[in-house]
């Protein structure tokens, strides 16, 4: 494995570790009085400013590409988080966690159908995917063995998984052409612009006073925006450039276990033997999927 691919794997692992932690830190913002929908533009806006500070350069694009960035910002930003958060209001957390964590599956399918070069998939990719899917189910259920159908919420969660798959396919073209930090900033610009109307139509303007008065809340906001969004989306895009959409997306299977582990570490939430077994299966699955 050359150094470029090795660093791609490092970036993907780092991103999944941070993203898995974000669910736990989001609870601090919810505890400060913000709603799940109000958090979206707050994260996107601050992430844009952070990336502007990192890369104070601007990218001029043809109108066709700019319109495509609007779609990318919606799919990977405002719509993805909106559908995921809304799904939690209609369905069980276990259902949403499992369905959203399955986003690599539609990503693999779309990569085969619409990727310009296509990504050749061997038997190990399918075997690894199957093993990882079983692991995700075990992790998210976390010993409860409680999975209930909830059509409205489950469909919203499926929509979130599909939105992320579309984002992954569309963004690859631009990760190969431009600076990834500038590309990611463009994504967050349109994510913020499209998230604000969703917020105003649902929960209204947020009250930031309790957030700014609570150190845990504003530190969580800062971490979610700067690391969870700005840094991680950029390095995730670099991983996609170096490893391809399919290989990079396989790491997302590990995100639920990171969430369970961080919840146990920071919040004292229970972690079961079933969840640990699921983590082992996810690891084996990712290793199989990356086998050449």
User: Each residue of 124-165: pLDDT tens digit?
Assistant: 677 777 787 787 777 766 666 555 556 777 788 888 889 998
Render pLDDT for 205-236 as a digit per residue (tens, 0 to 9). 999 999 999 998 999 999 999 999 999 999 99
pLDDT confidence of 259, banded at 50, 70, 90? Answer: confident
108-117, 154-163, 225-234, 237-246, range with the lowest pLDDT: 108-117
Number of domains into which the chain is organized: 1
Determine the distance from the C-alpha atom of residue 263 to the mean position of all C-alpha atoms in its chain, rounded to a whole number.
18
Q: Are 44 and 52 in contact (CB under 8 A)?
A: no
Q: Is the pLDDT of residue 198 over 80?
A: yes
Report, as an integer, the average pLDDT of 251-270.
Answer: 76
Q: State the pLDDT at residue 289.
A: 65
Distance, in Å, from the CA atom of 119 to the CA atom of 61, rounded to the nearest integer, reads 27
Distance, in Å, from the CA atom of 24 to the CA atom of 182, rounded to the nearest integer, reads 28
Report, as an integer, the average pLDDT of 99-115.
Answer: 75
Structure tokens at 166: 């579309």
| N-to-C CA span, the chain | 11
Q: Could you tell me the sign of the dihedral formed by the alpha carbons of 16, 20, 21, 27, in that order?
A: positive
Q: Is the pLDDT of residue 292 over 60?
A: no
Structure tokens at 206: 């947020």
pLDDT confidence of 186, banded at 50, 70, 90? Answer: very high
Q: State the pLDDT at residue 143.
A: 62
- Three-state DSSP at 198 gives helix
Which segment, 16-25, 67-76, 137-146, 150-159, is predicted with the most confidence on average?
Answer: 67-76
10-14, 54-58, 132-136, 245-249, range with the lowest pLDDT: 132-136
Distance, in Å, from the CA atom of 30 to the CA atom of 218, rounded to the nearest integer, reads 11
Ranges of beta strands (E only) in 161-224 are: none
Q: Is the pLDDT of residue 251 over 80?
A: yes
Indicate the pTM of the whole model: 0.81
Q: Is the pLDDT of residue 38 over 60?
A: yes
Give the phi and the psi of residue 49 in degrees, each rounded to 5: -65, -40
Angle at 266 between CA 261 and CA 269, to 5 degrees: 60
Q: State the pLDDT at residue 187.
A: 93
Residue 247 burial by Cβ neighbours in a 10 Å radius (0-12, 13-18, 19+): buried
Q: Which range of residues forms the domain containing residue 38?
A: 3-289
Q: Are 220 and 22 in contact (CB under 8 A)?
A: no
Q: Is the pLDDT of residue 31 over 80?
A: yes
């Amino acid at each position: 494995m050359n150094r470029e691919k090795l660093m791609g794997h490092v970036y993907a692992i780092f991103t999944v570790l941070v993203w898995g932690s974000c669910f736990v830190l989001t609870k601090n913002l919810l505890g400060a009085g913000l709603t799940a929908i109000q958090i979206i533009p707050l994260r996107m806006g601050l992430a844009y400013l952070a990336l502007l500070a990192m890369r104070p350069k601007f990218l001029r694009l043809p109108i066709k590409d700019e319109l495509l960035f609007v779609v990318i910002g919606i799919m990977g930003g405002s719509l993805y988080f909106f559908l995921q958060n809304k799904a939690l209001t209609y369905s069980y957390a276990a259902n949403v966690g499992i369905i959203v964590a399955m986003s690599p599956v539609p990503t693999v399918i779309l990569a085969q159908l619409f990727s310009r070069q296509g990504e050749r998939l061997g038997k190990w990719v399918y075997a690894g995917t199957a093993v990882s899917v079983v692991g995700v189910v075990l992790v998210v259920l976390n010993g409860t063995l409680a999975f209930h159908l909830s059509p409205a919420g489950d469909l919203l969660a499926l929509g979130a998984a599909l939105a992320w798959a579309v984002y992954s396919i569309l963004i690859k073209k631009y990760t190969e052409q431009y600076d990834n930090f500038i590309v990611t900033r463009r994504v967050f610009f349109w994510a913020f612009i499209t998230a604000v109307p969703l917020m105003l139509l649902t929960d209204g303007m947020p009250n930031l006073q309790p957030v700014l008065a609570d150190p845990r809340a504003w530190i969580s906001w800062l971490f979610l925006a700067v690391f969870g969004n700005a840094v991680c989306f950029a390095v995730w895009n670099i991983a996609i450039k170096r490893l391809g959409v399919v290989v990079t997306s396989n790491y997302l299977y590990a995100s639920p276990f990171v969430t369970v582990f961080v919840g146990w570490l920071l919040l004292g939430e229970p972690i079961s033997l079933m969840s640990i077994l699921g983590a082992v299966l996810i690891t084996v699955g990712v290793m199989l999927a990356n086998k050449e």
